[in-house]
Structure 1
């Protein structure tokens, strides 16, 4: 019988790991969209084992969770390409968007025998961001119309649940803006609030909070943002919620930080609920985000990010004015928890366990309704995040999360330092968070350290930090990742000669530019990354069509800058191996971006395997794809650093892709 001896010295990269490809892909679901209605908690599960289909799941006290959508429905949407906000619930009625046909369907939670009723279905139409009218007769939504030539047209619509609206199943409520989000009816059903914005703004740079009486389309009023901004400066607004028929809350960053503001419709007055140097708000990449919850007793529960780290705050009205701010212990929610009786329901993303839908109260261990997966290993196998501060090139300070290697079975041999993987998040207006991630644990459990960087432009640090990337994409993000890697190399905790960098989408551009700008990295991996900014500006989808105006410069006037910042034209400065992983159905960063870059690198003799995945778009969803991608990347680093991973099983085609770049393994 084999005796287990913990923490045996084993060369880094070759550690046997309990974080297997099947665990990270097929046996792990992606949880999102927690909602509550009556005594029911609902959430979405995206399942790689079902080719990335998303099911709506429900749980009631005393019962087991169960699917409430049939296998034919994929509860997701492609509005703005990134989706979100694909369902809404009111009482026992649910409305969903079906990704497979773009249609809108309704069904009753208490009737598991009836087929979902189709409310809207037309080729070329997409729907998202649903909200029920208080009377239950209609649902409001963002509609994206792809039926005409040119850019799709976005509007706000009302969709009938029972009959027709003036002879049709749906009616346009608001139009004319380039983008809409979060239609929110007042409690009496007579008014509608929403967020809108126009090119070239992105919702996190400049948007408008609007209100309209539903009986008068000409009554639209801009409460905040746009030319009516009180400060005269750009203002990002999001997440409107009604307190009553005369009071509206929303998130604004007019004070430099996203936080909750109170708007009195009768007087037009606006005031911040609290002033904290923390970010209560998120960049509007997807619909359905929730950063605060209005509680029945007048208090507000808020999800805040301070110095890159997540915390929950309870905002209690004071007798005079303003709100008292109190930290509250509710795990590490990925979205703000919702009141559920005398408890709360939320998606917990704590760093020491897989994400899970839970119900609980402050200071108590929550009841787990559904975990993304069951971890077949203990705490010794989980790398914990360490917040690291490091100096930037201009004297400012950057932040990253550092994860040392972790294993109950292995340890780093004496005289060896672990290799390190630097991660550049996408967006670039996104952020590295401290929640549990298989994209981190896959590496740390095999003897790698991971450094997840919040470079300039990341959210969670206030508007000024986001604006550090204005006109500087491909410059400051690159400098910051290099600075972070250099800081850790100098710390003596990682091997300075075995540092690689990886990133997806916008992070892919950062990866390639960093390889061209520094010799600190031994290799890089670009997952559906941007390589030619000119092509991206001309070919990408509507939501991001003018995004680069702020990050790079106006197109085409700044074409020279676009060319200078594009990795495609830096290929002669890259001399280390680069792996490219690309979906063939990617509408955000088309496959030709990766192909052109690979061709340019090959002309310079650079090792640059390219693996393409059929049926995958911008972000991989399928079980087979996810498993292959993890294993290909691990095998790639094995080739770079000269080790043989313990548990990689590549297909003949994937082995050939690496052999074609490196040559066969001896």
Structure 2
């Protein structure tokens, strides 16, 4: 049976945000059209919890039948925090007025970082609109303590079991680097409140930080002095590292159980997530964790989350033929994870394509990882889909755009050009700063490779969102003879105006990667598609959200105006209730079929 675009876009997917000791999972489902909270019970029941206007995430409040909910409006990413009591009978999912306000000021961003018994830890930029302070708030009384106000874009926070310390991660001075700080939440009058565990100048990723239960150490995923990410223990007194699990072939991520005995480790195997359980004290492998297919169980999905008693792990799983499901692993049993949802059932009888894995050679001797989705009846046309970030990775998950393009006969290539994560520090650093256009040259290498798959180079298009949108525009501007069309979704048209107009709290964060307006303005201007817009000759389809706080709508508007001035076809779709991408199914059902029809018109 043929796969149609509308059916693919209407498929519901699931993700796991939290799990309690009773085996209940606080899950997200987009069945309503945007991600809303649903509680899944061990007996198979599902209770819809929220019906808000925007996408929702949440965590259980430990020790209580309650959840902390983070929500925004229209995709503006200005998160607000509310409390929902789960022990009260409800006749319908909660709307905004049904929730108890905790932290609400729509002028600013508030992000939930951690949950503690009766309290929550969150980051907020309400002090100056730029820097993120870290606050511990009582969910009962509303009392707040600001425990960090040292500046920067705080990314993670992990409270020690006795709540005496918080481990924070902030961006370091170099691209794709994280500094680990230790904050004493109860300092004496002459005590040291802030301790630096890793230096700001280290070229090191430090993520997924968790405490051992006796406060004797932190477990962190890190690539300190390594190319590949491994899992290490850090002494909070000295900052010394002891490696627990490492690999010379794969990046690893680790999630420590609350009791400190078990460590769930994911190996990034060329875009597939392989899971295993290890002893958290020694790093010794206990057993592999089989998954339903060749898919992914973490980023870009929510990370695995342990139950407070360390018995269960809730997983978010997706594969090329699985839209997205919640799995629960019982670490005390040898059984595979139990599927709490069955998103693939709606695809019964339909033929979906799965990827083959390739390495595409470049003129300078590199090899670009690439997934190829080949249709049953190829037309000879192709579409390259480039991920955002740039510090991101295309992985082997379900993508309705890929499947719909393949159903129309297009071969879909999904590369991880230089700058992508998942292939070591050297690869994700290969596009930093003034090496930006090296990643664009990877597009040319991919184009040169098309005939080896029997594809027509004259009928190839680019598709990408966010930084992937920049890559689409850069490909059309710097390689106009190669590409027949482009679809740009919330993309950057000028690195200069992007940095000038993005949200202030993001500017310094992004200048680490792209270069600064003060020192690199001329290079940024030269690397911008808008500077070379007169070279663009391929038709364009542009999609943008009016509330985008990352890449402002002005990036799309100035591009469309300039392209049309040159007599080139450019359709611009703007959605007033969206931000950085299309979070609502109704808008996806409007935009994506039109974008596919646009490509078919120019490629077939």
TM category (shorter chain) comes to 0.7 to 0.9
Q: Which has the larger radius of gyration?
A: 1
**What SS class does the counterpart of residue 483 from structure 1 fall into?**
helix
Query: Is 1:37 matched up with 2:20?
Result: yes
Instruction: Give distance in 2, aligned partners of 1:127 and 1:90.
Output: 20
Contact kept? 2:17, 2:59, Cα under 8 Å: no
Instruction: Give distance in 2, aligned partners of 1:215 and 1:504.
Output: 45
Query: Is 1:24 matched up with 2:5?
Result: no
Instruction: Give distance in 2, aligned partners of 1:98 and 1:297.
Output: 31
- Per the alignment, residue 384 of structure 1 pairs with 354
Size of the alignment, in residue pairs? Answer: 578
Query: Is 1:205 matched up with 2:177?
Result: yes
Distance 1:325 1:556, change over 3 A: farther
Instruction: Give distance in 2, aligned partners of 1:373 and 1:237.
Output: 35
Moved more, 181-190 or 619-628: 181-190
**What SS class does the counterpart of residue 176 from structure 1 fall into?**
coil
Superposed CA deviations along residues 587-610 of structure 1, whole A, max 9, x for unmatched, are: 222222122222222232222222
Aligned pair partner of 1:142 in 113, 119, 123: 123
Distance 1:481 1:305, change over 3 A: same
Superposed CA deviations along residues 218-239 of structure 1, whole A, max 9, x for unmatched, are: 5334353225xxxx63222222
**What SS class does the counterpart of residue 251 from structure 2 fall into?**
coil
TM-superposed deviation, 1:627: 0.9
Instruction: Give distance in 1, aligned partners of 2:504 and 2:174.
Output: 12
Aligned pair partner of 1:305 in 264, 268, 282: 268
Distance 1:570 1:526, change over 3 A: same
Contact kept? 2:111, 2:124, Cα under 8 Å: yes
- Per the alignment, residue 274 of structure 1 pairs with 245
TM-superposed deviation, 1:356: 0.8
TM-score under structure 2 length normalisation: 0.88
- Per the alignment, residue 264 of structure 1 pairs with 235
- Per the alignment, residue 160 of structure 1 pairs with 138
Distance 1:439 1:43, change over 3 A: farther
- Per the alignment, residue 192 of structure 2 pairs with 219
**What SS class does the counterpart of residue 536 from structure 1 fall into?**
helix
- Per the alignment, residue 600 of structure 2 pairs with 638
**What SS class does the counterpart of residue 557 from structure 1 fall into?**
helix
Distance 1:343 1:534, change over 3 A: closer
Instruction: Give distance in 2, aligned partners of 1:322 and 1:633.
Output: 48
Instruction: Give distance in 2, aligned partners of 1:346 and 1:116.
Output: 27
**What SS class does the counterpart of residue 357 from structure 1 fall into?**
strand
TM-superposed deviation, 1:399: 0.2
Aligned pair partner of 1:57 in 8, 32, 38: 38
Aligned pair partner of 2:327 in 324, 334, 358: 358
Instruction: Give distance in 1, aligned partners of 2:475 and 2:603.
Output: 19
Superposed CA deviations along residues 609-650 of structure 1, whole A, max 9, x for unmatched, are: 2222222211112222101211111111232135xxxxxxxx
Aligned pair partner of 1:375 in 336, 342, 346: 346
Query: Is 1:104 matched up with 2:71?
Result: no
Structure 2 alignment gaps of length 5 or more: none
Mapping of 1:548-559 within 5 angstroms? 548-559=510-521
Distance 1:125 1:637, change over 3 A: closer
Distance 1:104 1:139, change over 3 A: same
Aligned pair partner of 1:441 in 397, 403, 412: 403
TM-superposed deviation, 1:543: 4.3
- Per the alignment, residue 66 of structure 1 pairs with 47
TM-superposed deviation, 1:268: 4.5
Superposed CA deviations along residues 58-87 of structure 1, whole A, max 9, x for unmatched, are: 122224111233x358563xxxxxxxx643
Contact kept? 1:177, 1:197, Cα under 8 Å: no
Superposed CA deviations along residues 298-336 of structure 1, whole A, max 9, x for unmatched, are: 231112213444222333368xx6534864323434325
- Per the alignment, residue 131 of structure 1 pairs with 114
- Per the alignment, residue 61 of structure 2 pairs with 89
TM-superposed deviation, 1:159: 1.0
Aligned pair partner of 2:489 in 506, 522, 527: 527
Mapping of 1:128-527 within 5 angstroms? 128-133=111-116, 136-145=117-126, 148=128, 151-164=129-142, 169-197=143-171, 204-216=176-188, 218-227=191-200, 233-244=202-213, 245-254=215-224, 255-266=226-237, 268-277=239-248, 278-281=250-253, 291-294=254-257, 296=259, 298-316=261-279, 323-324=284-285, 327-331=288-292, 332-335=295-298, 337-338=304-305, 344-360=313-329, 366-372=337-343, 374-378=345-349, 381-406=351-376, 411-412=377-378, 417-472=379-434, 474-487=436-449, 489-518=450-479, 519-527=481-489
**What SS class does the counterpart of residue 493 from structure 2 fall into?**
coil
TM-superposed deviation, 1:344: 4.0
Superposed CA deviations along residues 78-100 of structure 1, whole A, max 9, x for unmatched, are: xxxxxxx6434313231112324
TM-score under structure 1 length normalisation: 0.80
Aligned pair partner of 2:557 in 595, 602, 617: 595
- RMSD of aligned residue pairs (Cα, Å): 2.8
Distance 1:246 1:523, change over 3 A: same
Distance 1:66 1:224, change over 3 A: same
Distance 1:344 1:333, change over 3 A: farther
